[in-house]
Amino acid sequence: MIPKLKSFGSMLSSVLVTLLGLAIVTFMIGRVMPVDPVLAAVGDNAPESVVLQARADMGLDDPLIVQFWHYLVQLAHGDFGRSVLTHNEVASDIAHYFPATMELATVALILAAVIGVPLGIWAAVRQGSITDQVIRVLCLTGHSVPVFVLALVGLLIFYVFLDIVPGPGRQDIIYEGMIPSVTGFLTIDTILAGDAGAFWDAVHHMALPVCILSYFSMAYITRMTRAFMLGALKGEYIVAARAKGLSLWAVVLGHAFPNVAVQLITVLALTYAGLLEGAVVTETVFAWPGLGQYLTNSLMNGDMNPVVGTTLLIGCVYVGLNLLADLLYRVFDPRVK
């Protein structure tokens, strides 16, 4: 019991220190950016007296250590400040925009894992063959080309030339405001509303950005799966299983893959976090009304509270998914216990 408590205490301390460091980084981002939050709030032409009063009201004339303490207290209460651009609380805006980003990233991760893991296994089993070379080239391309380039090329081919996908956005204008937001996931909300037309419209709009993100993620998942499987296939237990007369795929799927599945947990967790972060660029290209577009618009307009709030959120997502992967390691891998 005591070793388990020590392990839990060590993990909790590590998480708290990481979150504190993240809070320090985001606090400094809000202070070193060239945009003056006071002028962004009151305008460039505001009288000096108004600027000074606003600076005092925002606590920006206090010492940095006092400002940081107030910042921590605000974070503890879930207060990220107010957006100058939308005039809403940043926490409320994040709650509104984040589900659209999660929907995009979740579907992309599922598609990337369903395709990437089997491709990685196949490439490892056929190491050195033409199949392996083709898969490696596809993965190298997907992992090397920037996401925004893939997105622009995808729009040019499938929207402009072939006209087989709808334009940017999350849904056609005829459906906007018609579907009640229950979960924030538009595909689920359209099913709950029983509107088949709105559902297929949402799926069509999601198809291209999901494919772009899943291709980028699939490249990484496939490469890691291939590397893990190559290491597993060299194990002595694989030779012993083959000597017993088991078929190749029985050995691969029954003995090698279960030993690398635990390692893939971390890969999938970090890939999901990367999708939530990488969707920023994709959402900008496809005019997807998610957290990425909200962050981009805020940054372009010098609205720093949303920038700091979304940066902190993405950092917390990384920390949370790393912690989840660590916990799953302990559940599925007896050696960690």
pLDDT (tens, 9 = 90+) of the chain, 337 residues, equals 555 666 666 667 777 787 788 788 877 776 666 666 666 666 667 777 776 777 776 666 777 788 788 878 888 877 888 887 788 888 899 888 889 889 999 999 999 999 999 999 999 988 888 999 999 999 888 888 888 888 888 888 888 888 888 878 888 888 877 888 888 888 899 999 888 888 999 899 999 999 999 998 999 999 999 999 988 888 777 778 777 777 778 888 887 888 888 888 888 988 888 887 767 778 888 888 888 888 888 877 777 788 888 888 888 888 888 888 877 777 766 665 5
Residues 295 and 217 in one domain: yes
Residue 176, domain member (yes or no): yes
Q: How far is CA 282 from the centre of its chain?
A: 11
Residues 176 and 60 in one domain: no
Domain range enclosing 141 = 90-332
Residues 94 and 64 in one domain: no
Per the structure, the count of domains in the chain is 2
Round to whole Å and give the CA distance between 85 and 89: 11
Residue 85, domain member (yes or no): no
Residues 13 and 146 in one domain: no
Looking at 42, 76, 110, the residue that finishes a domain is 76
Residues 64 and 106 in one domain: no
Residues 131 and 60 in one domain: no
Residue 82, domain member (yes or no): no
CATH of the domain at 204: 1.10.3720.10
Q: Convert the chain into a string of H (helix), E (strand) and C (coil).
A: CHHHHHHHHHHHHHHHHHHHHHHHHHHHHHHHCCCCHHHHHHCCCCCHHHHHHHHHHCCCCCCHHHHHHHHHHHHHCCCCCECCCCCCEHHHHHHHHHHHHHHHHHHHHHHHHHHHHHHHHHHHHCCCCHHHHHHHHHHHHHHHCCHHHHHHHHHHHHHHHCCCCCCCCCCCHHHCCCCCCCCCCHHHHHHHHCCHHHHHHHHHHHHHHHHHHHHHHHHHHHHHHHHHHHHHHCCHHHHHHHHCCCCHHHHHHHHHHHHHHHHHHHHHHHHHHHHHHHHHHHHHHHCCCCHHHHHHHHHHCCCHHHHHHHHHHHHHHHHHHHHHHHHHHHHHCCCCC
